[in-house]
Amino acid sequence: MDSDKPNSLRPFLLTAGILIADQVSKALIVDLIPRNTIAVRGLGDFLWIVHARNTGIAFSMGDGLPPWMRMVLFSLLPLALIAGILIYYFRTDETTPVQRWALAAIVGGGLGNVVDRLFRPEGVVDFVSVKFYGLLGMERWPTFNVADSAVVLGALLVAATSLLAPGPGTPVRDKDGGSAG
- pLDDT tens track for 12-46: 999 999 999 999 999 999 999 999 999 999 999 99
pLDDT at residue number 1: 43
Active-site residue set: 126, 148
Question: The whole model's pTM is what?
Answer: 0.83
Is residue 63 a contact partner of residue 133, using CB atoms and an 8 Å limit? no
Q: Is the pLDDT of residue 2 over 70?
A: no
Residue 180: the pLDDT is 56
Predicted confidence at residue 178, as pLDDT, reads 56
Residue 168 CB neighbours (<10 A) = 6
Average pLDDT in the chain: 88
3-state SS of the chain is CCCCCCCCCCCHHHHHHHHHHHHHHHHHHHHHCCCCCEEEEECCCCEEEEEEEECCCHHHCCCCCCHHHHHHHHHHHHHHHHHHHHHHHHHCCCCCHHHHHHHHHHHHHHHHHHHHHHHCCCCEEEEEEEECCCHHHCCECCCECHHHHHHHHHHHHHHHHHHHCCCCCCCCECCCCCECC
Q: Phi and psi of 126, rounded to 5°?
A: -115, 145
How many of the other CB atoms lie within 10 Å of CB of 88?
13
Mean predicted confidence (pLDDT) in 61-73: 81
Burial readout 138-161 (b: 16 or more C-beta within 10 A, e: otherwise): eeeebbbbbbbbbbeebeebbeee
Q: How many CA atoms lie within 13 A of 165 on its CB side?
A: 15
Q: Which of 29-38, 54-63, 72-81, 109-118 has the lowest mean pLDDT?
A: 54-63
Please tell me the distance from the alpha carbon of residue 161 to that of residue 166, in angstroms, as a whole number. Answer: 9
pLDDT higher than threshold 70 for residue 148: yes
| Out of 37-41, 60-64, 143-147, 155-159, least confident range | 60-64
Least confident residue range of 33-37, 44-48, 66-70, 117-121 = 66-70
